[in-house]
Structure 1
């Protein structure tokens, strides 16, 4: 089986391969623990295209939470600032129900594309929300308020975030 996995991995990583997405999906379906660890190391690597394919493969595995940790780490890695949107886009392949705070952070601090995609996730994903989740998100919101990237985005985000927090708090009152 390891030989077959290695062949699929090699095809996924081949820059001349036209069917790389297909091989990423196939690799994810057949991944074992060792393969998962290798894919996570590829996500953290320097080749963003292979990292993206590794994210796609990980989305097909049973290790959703551990895989998401690696994807969010890649999103927030400063070296990936220019390609943050691609890593945020791949999140649509994962179960994000437990990741409200992480998505919220991408919305606040991400590039334009990443922030826009995160806003879509915030609007469409059904998250598991607890009072603790709200407090953690408010902590990031307060940090953003005291360190805005620009005043124009601050006003826009304020008009979107404050009603969202109000609505979330009403769920628990």
Structure 2
């Protein structure tokens, strides 16, 4: 079995392999703790295409939270700013209902594609929201207000975020 697993990893990570997605899906369907750990290691690696395939494999496993921790770490790494969108896009394969704050951060600080996709998730997912979740999101919002990366988008984000916070706070009053 170990030989078969290693062959799947080899095929998935081979840059010349045209069926790499197939091997990623196969690995995901066979994932145990050891495979999960190796996939998470690949997510954190330097080759973004292999990282993406490892994310895809993890999306087929039962290790949702651990996988999401690694993927959001990859997304928030400033060195990955140019490729954030691909990693935000793969998030659609995961259960994100406990990740409001992470998605909100991507919306605020991500590149254009990542921010747009995060906004779609924020609008379309039913999150588990608590007053603590709102406080954490407000902390990131205040940071953004005082350190906007793009002054031009500040007004747009303000017009979207302030009503969102009002609606969320109204849920608890």
TM-score (norm 1): 0.98
Displacement after TM superposition at 1:155 (Å): 0.1
How far apart are the structure 1 equivalents of 2:70 and 2:2?
Answer: 23
> 1:107-118 alignment to 2 at 5 Å?
107-118=107-118
Provide structure 2 residue ranges, at least 5 long, that are not aligned to the other structure: none
Equivalent pair of 1:26/1:57 in contact (CA under 8 Å): yes
How far apart are the structure 1 equivalents of 2:19 and 2:44?
Answer: 22
Task: List structure 1 segments (4+ residues) > 6 angstroms apart after TM superposition.
Answer: none
> 1:105-144 alignment to 2 at 5 Å?
105-144=105-144
Please give the secondary structure, in 1, of the residue aligned with 2:18: coil
How far apart are the structure 1 equivalents of 2:25 and 2:132?
Answer: 35
Displacement after TM superposition at 1:152 (Å): 1.6
How many pairs were matched up? 173
The answer for the alignment partner of 2:8 in structure 1 is 8
How far apart are the structure 1 equivalents of 2:45 and 2:87?
Answer: 13
How far apart are the structure 2 equivalents of 1:29 and 1:43?
Answer: 17
Displacement after TM superposition at 1:151 (Å): 2.2
Deviations 1:105-143 (A, max 9, x none): 000000010000000000111111011000000000000
The answer for the alignment partner of 2:66 in structure 1 is 66
The answer for the alignment partner of 2:25 in structure 1 is 25
The answer for the alignment partner of 1:164 in structure 2 is 164
The answer for the alignment partner of 1:87 in structure 2 is 87
Deviations 1:27-64 (A, max 9, x none): 10101111111111111111000000001101111110
How far apart are the structure 1 equivalents of 2:91 and 2:111?
Answer: 15
Displacement after TM superposition at 1:78 (Å): 1.5
Displacement after TM superposition at 1:21 (Å): 0.9
Cα RMSD after superposing both structures = 0.7
The answer for the alignment partner of 2:75 in structure 1 is 75
Equivalent pair of 1:5/1:31 in contact (CA under 8 Å): no
Equivalent pair of 1:12/1:23 in contact (CA under 8 Å): yes
